[in-house]
Amino acid sequence: MSNEEKDREDLPKCRVGGKDPSGSEARPRNWLVPVILLSLRDWNSYGYELMERSTRFGFDAMNPGTLYRTLRQMEKDGIVESSWETSRGGPARRMYSITDAGMTYLDFWAKSLEQYQRTMDTFFRMYTGQPLPSDENEENEKESGEGNSR
């Protein structure tokens, strides 16, 4: 048995977050939306192709149901547009393109993700043991002093 497998078996089976934070847990809700918008900003595309492309953005095994449903919802919201492409062998494709509102929405997502990245940086600074740089020590240690330190 490899070490990684052993680690996994020691991991508590937590109901919070399903089982473990790997895979789907450690990414924001609707992460699929900015990923799709970003893909469509460069090239128009369709569901089946977007499924493969999103694999590069943390979706190890994208499930079709969620993707197609998200695309239809995004069209209702006006951030993407679609039209059938039938001039081709094989099943018809619903080709999607991003709208102006979609571009605006993508920019907004980018700003939010930047903010979240900074928050995660704070998390990792604290995780690796360094004190918070923005924390000016306004008596916090004393207030929380009833706990033992490890």
Partner DNA sequence: GTATATAGGTGTAAACTGCACATAGATATG
Partner DNA sequence: CATATCTATGTGCAGTTTACACCTATATAC
Footprint of DNA (CB under 7 A): 15-18, 24, 29-32, 46-49, 61, 63-66, 68-72, 89-95
Nearer to its own copies, 64 or 115 (CB): 115
Please answer whether residues 23 and 60 qualify as being in contact, where contact means their C-beta atoms are separated by less than 8 angstroms.
yes
CA nearest neighbour of 75 among 31, 108, 37: 37
Residues 12-41 that bind its own copies (CB under 8 A): 12-17, 20-23, 25-30, 33-35, 38, 41
Nearer to its own copies, 1 or 127 (CB): 127
Do the Cβ atoms of 59 and 36 come closer than 8 Å? no
Asked if residue 120 lies in contact with residue 102, where contact means CB atoms within 8 angstroms, the answer is no
Of 63 and 130, which CB lies nearer to DNA in the complex structure?
Answer: 63
CA-to-CA separations, 96 to 13, 117, 150, in angstroms, rounded: 40, 29, 54
Which of its own copies, DNA, none interacts with 43 (beta carbon under 5 to 8 A by kind)? its own copies
